């Protein structure tokens, strides 16, 4: 469920993007695709998680958005862009390595 708090989060990527990874992440794209990914990253980074309803993002979770992307072999895959900071406390969630 999206709210006005998430209205600036980019929901779909445009242009051409290919993601490949085997221990190293490689992102290739045309200018439109790369800008679209950049805007998606910024929109998730700028989101005020504390303003989200608990159904959109529980207090002990962090916001994330799923995207469909093309993989290097031509198949479709998924890309998740998300925050590691917990909505309520701001601490790094336990499922991520501490920094």
Compute mean pLDDT per 10 residues along the chain, 99 residues long, and list them.
70 67 79 92 93 93 91 86 90 77
- As a whole number of angstroms, the distance between CA 63 and CA 80 comes to 10
- Rounded to two decimals, what is the model's pTM? 0.76
Check if the beta carbon of residue 30 is closer than 8 Å to that of residue 51: no
Q: In what order do the strands lie in the sheet with 25-29?
A: 25-29, 17-21, 64-71, 76-82
Query: Which residues make Cβ contacts (< 8 Å) with residue 78, sequence separation at least 6?
Result: 66, 67, 68, 69
């Amino acid at each position: 469920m999206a709210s006005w708090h998430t209205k600036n989060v980019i929901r779909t990527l445009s242009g051409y993007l290919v993601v490949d990874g085997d221990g190293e992440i490689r992102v290739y794209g045309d200018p439109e695709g790369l800008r679209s990914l950049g805007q998606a990253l910024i929109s998730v980074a700028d989101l005020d998680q504390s303003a989200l309803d608990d159904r959109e993002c529980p207090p002990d979770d962090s916001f994330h958005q799923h995207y469909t992307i093309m993989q290097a072999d031509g198949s479709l895959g998924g890309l998740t862009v998300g925050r590691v900071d917990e909505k309520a406390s701001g601490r790094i969630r336990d499922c991520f390595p501490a920094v």
